[in-house]
Amino acid sequence: MTEHGDQLRRAFEAHENEGPDPAEVYARVQQLARGYQWRRRGAQAAGGAVLGAGLIAGVMHLPALLPAAPNDNVAVAPAFQAAGPAAPAVPSATPSAQPIDPNQDEFDAYFGAGYDYDDAVKLAKIWKKPKADIGDIKVEAGRRLLAGQVLPVKPGEGTPGPPAPPTKEEKRVAAFFGAGYDYDDAVKLAKIWKTKTPYAAKVAGGKKLLAGETLPIRP
């Protein structure tokens, strides 16, 4: 008889008064064990002893019937998935600083004092600077303001005011063109009236039209 068989028989004899007949139980165990031969063939010796003890415990409902065998203590370590190295933390993107105009203080002083583009144009004329350098004019004006100097132009002084009312001459010329006459008509009238220039004919013609007169030629 095998080693496992001896262990089973000793277990039956030790608990013969606690359950059914050990011989019947053993026979039943052998019958069940044959049905699980494929499991015992794949198991190790220690695993087979544990399997046999489990079968008897299932039939007799008795806990801890078999003593621990010398080779039954098989340490089974839990499987843990090896964790890889922690991914390096990605540094948060720092927003790049906006570029600052090196003359921002001068611009702030200039516009903060109430000056505008038209004032810079007037300052360019006073300082005899080209109009193309209008930005430099603002910077220079702002620099002087920061230094406590007074500019030769007051804020808003360079802004053009409302247009002046038209002169009598301008009204006559406008009446001439408003009646449908053009430059060629002014040349013809200049020959008829013997004026020095066609422009003088426009003025004279406009004056007559405003007075309700008719001209010697049609538009």
Q: Are 186 and 176 in contact (CB under 8 A)?
A: yes
- Whole-number Å distance between alpha carbons of 189 and 179: 14
DSSP line for 8-39: HHHHHHHTTTSSS-HHHHHHHHHHHHHHTHHH
Q: In what helix (H) or strand (E) does residue 202 lie, and over which residues does it extend?
A: helix 198-210
Please give the distance of CA 54 from its chain centroid, rounded to a whole number: 65
* 62-98 pLDDT per residue, tens: 444 444 444 444 444 444 444 455 555 555 555 555 5
Q: Which of 25-34, 75-84, 157-166, 206-215 has the highest mean pLDDT?
A: 206-215
Average pLDDT over residues 189-213: 94
Percent of the chain's residues with pLDDT above 90: 37
What pLDDT, on the 0 to 100 scale, is given for residue 25?
57
Answer yes or no: pTM beyond 0.75. Answer: no
Q: From residue 84, how far is each of 77, 78, 80, 87 by CA, in Å?
A: 20, 18, 12, 8
Q: How confident is the model at residue 180 (pLDDT cuts 50, 70, 90)?
A: very high
